[in-house]
Structure 1
Amino acid sequence: MATVEILYFAWLRERIDAPRERVETAAVTVADLVAELVTRSDRHAAAFADPTSVRVALDQVLSCFDAPLAGVAEVAFFPPMTGG
């Protein structure tokens, strides 16, 4: 088990109703972590209902859902960015 700090931004923060949380996880990848998170509450399940609309950064580096969590201290979830 590892402890990671999870940060939520924009509508993910609103749906989960928290800007951050610290969790103990046995997850090997980001996808595994998301699978664990959706079981925490209906709010988490709603936030991750469409994983294609969520981006992730591991220790402030843009990553993907199949990325390993080994050695990661911070996971940030946020919607895709658009410019204009």
Structure 2
Amino acid sequence: MARLVFLGRLEDRAGCAEMDVAPGPLSEILTRLDPALALDLLGERVRMALNGALVPEAGALVLAQGDELAFLPPVSGG
């Protein structure tokens, strides 16, 4: 399995902090999620980190067995 990690408001939207998913193309994984959540995860200001390294572009991202993809929402505050 691969793991999706939701931080901040994305955790609230997902209803959980983490979710195990079958490995494969991110585009296919997102089609199996709630459409509203998938839309939020692909938001312009949401960053992604694959196994701890920021991903510059998620276009052709494929998750392998044991991968962890974290979704990082924008942070506000002061």
TM-score above 0.5, yes or no: yes
CA–CA separation in structure 2 for the residues paired with 1:53 and 1:34: 18
Count, aligned residues: 76
CA–CA separation in structure 2 for the residues paired with 1:13 and 1:38: 18
Say if 2:24 and 2:62, in contact at 8 Å, map to a contact too: no
Question: TM-score under structure 2 normalisation?
Answer: 0.71
Runs of 4+ in 1 over 6 A off after TM superposition: none
Q: What residue ranges of structure 2 are gaps of 5+ in the alignment?
A: none
Structure ranking higher on relative contact order (CA contacts 8 Å, 6+ apart): 2
Per the alignment, residue 8 of structure 1 pairs with 6
Per the alignment, residue 30 of structure 1 pairs with none
Per the alignment, residue 41 of structure 1 pairs with 34
State the Cα RMSD in Å: 2.7
Question: TM-score under structure 1 normalisation?
Answer: 0.67
One-letter amino acid of the counterpart of residue 37, structure 2:
H
SS of the residue corresponding to residue 53 of structure 1 reads coil
Identity level (%): 25
Say if 2:23 and 2:63, in contact at 8 Å, map to a contact too: no
CA–CA separation in structure 2 for the residues paired with 1:23 and 1:70: 9
Q: What residue ranges of structure 1 are gaps of 5+ in the alignment?
A: 28-32
